[in-house]
Structures are given as C-alpha cells and as structure tokens.
Structure 1
C-alpha cells in the first residue's frame, strides 16, 4: 500500500498546491549571497534564474551544436569561408543561444511547476516557489522570443524557419515527460536542428548534395543529447517516479549504462560515416577518436546512483566530448582552407 506521502505526490494538482511544502524538513529558499546572481537587484534574481544565467552547463548544450554546425558547414562550402566570417557567426549565435535557452527554460519551468514542487532539486525554481507568477513567466518567455528576432536578421532568411522549428520542438519537449518515457529523444531534435540552421547560415541547402553527412551529424547530435540527458535525469529518479515524471532514466533504470553505451557506439559510427561521406582527412578522425575516448570514459566513470556524479559529468562532458567534436571539423576546415 502506498504511503501517505506517496499519495500526496501522486495527487493531481489542486488550486492551492503552490502553498504546499513537499519537503518540510529541508531548508527554505533564500537569495544567493555569492556568484553572479548576488550582484543583481532582488527583483531581477527570479528572472535570471528562469534564464539559468548562473548555470553555464545548459548553455553549452544549446551553443555547442551551433559551433559544431558552423565548422561542419565551413567544410561543406564550395569555397572555404574566411575565419573572420566563422568567428562573426559564432559571436552572433552566442546571444541568440542565451535568449533561446532562456525562453526554453522559462517555458519548461512554467509548465512543469507542479512537478518541480515535488522534486527536491527543482523545488526552489522561481515559478514553483511562487516568486514569478504563471502569467509573468509566459510574458517573459514571449519577450525573450521577440528579442531573438533582431539577431536572426543577421542570418539568411531561410534560417528563420529553422529557428521557428527549433522553438516549437523545445516547447513540445516540455510537455513530453507527461506522456512518454522518451522525452530525451524529443529533446535531441531541437538541439540537432542547429546543424540545419548553420548549413543554411552559409547559404547552403541542408538537404542538398550533402544530405547524407548532414543527416548523419544531425543524428549524432540527437544521440549525444539522449545520452547526457538520460544520465542527468538519474539525479531526480526517485522524486520523478513519485511525481509521475516520465524519462528514459526511469524506463531503463537497471540498464542505463548498456543503453547509453550502445548509443555512444552508434554516435561514433555516424561520425565516422560523416567523415567518409565528406572525404575528411586525418585531423577529423583524430577528433572523432577523441570523442570516442571521452564518451567511453564518461559512461564508464559516472556513478548513476550518485546525483553529484551525474550532475558533475553532465557539466564536464560538454567539454570532454564537445571540444574534440568541434576540433575535428575545425581541423578539416583548416586543411580545406589551406591554412594548415
């Protein structure tokens, strides 16, 4: 028979749920006294928290696929673009990704507020704790999306439709944990759509003559997202189960390492195929080998039963896996541009 606390956690949200403290034995919320948030006026802090300004790892998840996509697109271009052109694209995409991430996280926190109150790690998020109302959060989401548009004017018109698809997919993802144990699969698609956006940013057709390597890299990004987000979800697996949140961490809780290990093999295989179809040279495959080594150690070393280990590896793997992935395409571009 379920305990009283379990019954409360599974009860559908009532009108007064926002006043219920599901973790009465844990400390209440207080504004941070150190770090970037401590520099802000108190009224700004909840909105900065909605944007995750103080948590850079999530920004890596948004920004790195665009850096990968830029260097991949540079390898596709009939005439290698100048390094200054690529740096300009990368610098313009940085604020765009801050806003995109902010809008996606704000929307996610707004629609997930009833779940967040029941999950220890998420209970102090601004909407869940009542620091920002639902209406204010929706207005803030819209404001961030509107702020993206001026940045998009620096890119070809075709990029706008790709960004539109990305936004829709992020918004759909936030609802998927209610209906399927595979929200991580859905999450992979808006992250991977960065590849299409970046190819279009150089006035190339993402599904043109080089559709095969482009789709392979798209799939690589989807698999990468599934791997790290499934491991990340193990932080909250007990609370998620009580709250009714679905995830691949719950679906494969006893075989997660086998699952992500298999996906990692598929990911590296697709990277190799991408290189073959692009006729890449040695430097690209050195980067691919770095991805394989980093991913292998990441999956081997992470302790799925330790939330701190899962959280730390979520942060670190963007550098250990993402940097060699970017470096492989960068090396190939430098060779094609006759810079090396």
Structure 2
C-alpha cells in the first residue's frame, strides 16, 4: 500500500477468546427454538458470506450460458433458475458444512475460531451430524427433479468433491485446489440447466477457461481466509496453502489473479462475448483483485475475514455483471430499442 492510502480500520489483535459457548442473544438464531439452534449453526445460516461462495458461481454460470445459448432465455426463466439454485446452494452449503464439521471435529477443538461449533462442543453428536447431513442431501433432491436430468449427473461429482475436501487437509497442502473444483462445477450445472452442453466442441474451450478461472478465484479467497487460523492450524496439523505459502501468499495470489484474468479474457474471446463483458467482467475483476490482494493484512485475522467477505461481491459481482449486461444486450426488447 502506498503512503497516504486509507487502511481499513481493523483491530491488530484477535478478539479475546471466549472461555465458554454463549447462545445467540440477537439475530436470526436467537428467534429459533433452542433445540434447533445447533443445526442452524451447522448450516451456517447466520453467516451468509460462505453462501456467496456457493451461489456466485451459479449466477455467473447462468449468465454465461444465457450469453452463448442460441436463443437467450427469458428474464423470467433466468429468475426462476436463480431462485432454484439459491435454495440448492443453501441446502448444499449446509450439507457440506455439516460433513466438514463432523469430519474435522477433533481439529476444530484445537482452533480458536472453530472450537464452539456444534459438533466440536458436543451440542450435536457425531451420529446426529451424519443423519442431518443425509437429511439435507435428500432435501436437495426435489430441486434437481425440477431441473434437466443432466444437472443431476453434474451434481454427483460436486457432492463427492465436497465430501473429499475435509480429508484433503490431512494429506496435502493444497485443499483449496480441491475445494475450487466443486465450486467451479456450477458453471457446467448452469449450462445444463439452460440446455447448453458445456462439453460440446464449440463451447468447451470457453467453459473450461471460465471453470479454471473460478478455481483460481476460490484458491485466492480461501487462502486469504485460511490466514485467520494459521497458527492454530500449524499446531493442530491442519494443512493448507496458507500454511504452505505463509511467507509468500501475496506473491502466490498475485500470480493466480493474473491467471484468473487471462482465463476470463480467453473465455470471452473463445465465446465471442461482447465488449461489456471485457470491460466489466475482465476489467472489474482485475481492479477488484488488485485492491483485495494489495490491501488485505494477512497478519490481522479481521482483515482476512473482511476481504474474504468483500471479495465475493467485488470479484463475483463484476464477473456476473458483465455477463448479465451482455445477456440483456441479446434480449429482443434491447435490440429493438437500439436499432429502431
């Protein structure tokens, strides 16, 4: 950061650790029956930032598929699909978090930020956690039934990869790479939802570039996020790219940011997207990533958390906005208004 730039007002130390769990006294969870609170916490219903990680790739995927489809879908159809995928992401995120918490409960008890999660603190048993995960999985079936059958085929690797993710932290320093794949698979699911084959020779090049760009994005924000817990992860034996690249995270994320922007440019070129995509999606992403990586203070957990939250809107929002802008350009009403 240059001299004179405004530094976000983050505390330079973590908040004093709580010595016991305190039930929520305000907000959504405080209105729930006491018995349901641990299950809502397992789904992270009170923490929407993680939901953005799941949902933004679906919004991006929908807008991308709408841009390359032979005939653009109606706005009503797009909104209906966006609503279905929002519900799907709430359920999928809940199941993934519950599985992760059950698998990582011994690690969570050693990490300050995670030690009062429901399973780690004993509010939900291991068996109850597995049953709740299975129930959430079944709850997602009606969503898939309302989508083309190809979406179900794509949902299988997504589910398996999310189940694999907690174990990756035990055997590799690159769990963020593993995590990036199920998030990025949203691109393929959304193509299928709009009856676009992402593996068709004319589509695969741009779809693959957008897919890998999303993987890069996931690695960037999750590595920054993991810096919150780095000293506890080292002590507990949890592996991550934050631990592996502790002294060179900004260099790593800068390289990945360049790769992400190049891949977005390649996706646009391959798909023949319009200038609004290149200006808003590619240019906006480049600016957002420079701002995020340059200003985050990796030594301050609050800064890592704050930029993790902001990054979804800054990066995900600009990619989606550029694609949505091109989708609007393809609408008959838009064309009629600009060619009359």
In the superposition, the TM-score normalised over structure 1's length comes to 0.92
Q: C-alpha separation between the residues in 1 aligned to 2:195 and 2:122? A: 45
Aligned residues of 2:17 and 2:112 also touching (Cα < 8 A): no
Listed one character per residue, the Cα deviations across residues 54-104 of structure 1 (whole Å, up to 9, x for unaligned) are 000000000000000000000111011111111110011111110000000
Cross-structure match for 2:197: 205
Task: Specify which of 271, 275, 286 is matched with residue 292 of structure 1.
Answer: 286
Aligned residue runs from structure 1 range 65-76, under 5 A: 65-76=57-68
- Shift in Å, 1:337: 2.4
Cross-structure match for 2:317: 323
**Mapped pair 1:253 → 2:260:** no
- Shift in Å, 1:202: 1.1
Listed one character per residue, the Cα deviations across residues 98-140 of structure 1 (whole Å, up to 9, x for unaligned) are 0000000000000000000000000000000000000000000
Q: C-alpha separation between the residues in 1 aligned to 2:18 and 2:92? A: 32
Cross-structure match for 1:79: 71
- Shift in Å, 1:26: 4.0
Aligned residues of 2:49 and 2:309 also touching (Cα < 8 A): yes
Aligned residues of 2:62 and 2:190 also touching (Cα < 8 A): yes
Q: C-alpha separation between the residues in 1 aligned to 2:56 and 2:152? A: 19
**Mapped pair 1:135 → 2:132:** no
Q: C-alpha separation between the residues in 2 aligned to 1:46 and 1:143? A: 15
Q: 1:89 to 1:242 in 2, by over 3 A?
A: same
**Mapped pair 1:336 → 2:330:** yes
Cross-structure match for 1:264: 257
**Mapped pair 1:151 → 2:124:** no
Cross-structure match for 2:187: 195
Cross-structure match for 1:240: 233
**Mapped pair 1:110 → 2:102:** yes
SS in 2 for 1:135: helix
**Number of aligned positions between the proteins:** 317
Q: C-alpha separation between the residues in 1 aligned to 2:260 and 2:295? A: 19
Cross-structure match for 1:29: 21
Which 5+ residue runs of structure 2 have no aligned equivalent? 1-15, 335-340
Task: Specify which of 298, 302, 317 is matched with residue 296 of structure 2.
Answer: 302
Aligned-residue Cα RMSD (Å) equals 1.1
Q: C-alpha separation between the residues in 1 aligned to 2:302 and 2:241? A: 19
Q: C-alpha separation between the residues in 1 aligned to 2:274 and 2:128? A: 52
Aligned residues of 2:95 and 2:137 also touching (Cα < 8 A): yes
Q: C-alpha separation between the residues in 2 aligned to 1:145 and 1:26? A: 33
Listed one character per residue, the Cα deviations across residues 279-337 of structure 1 (whole Å, up to 9, x for unaligned) are 11111112110111011100000000000000011111111111111011111111122
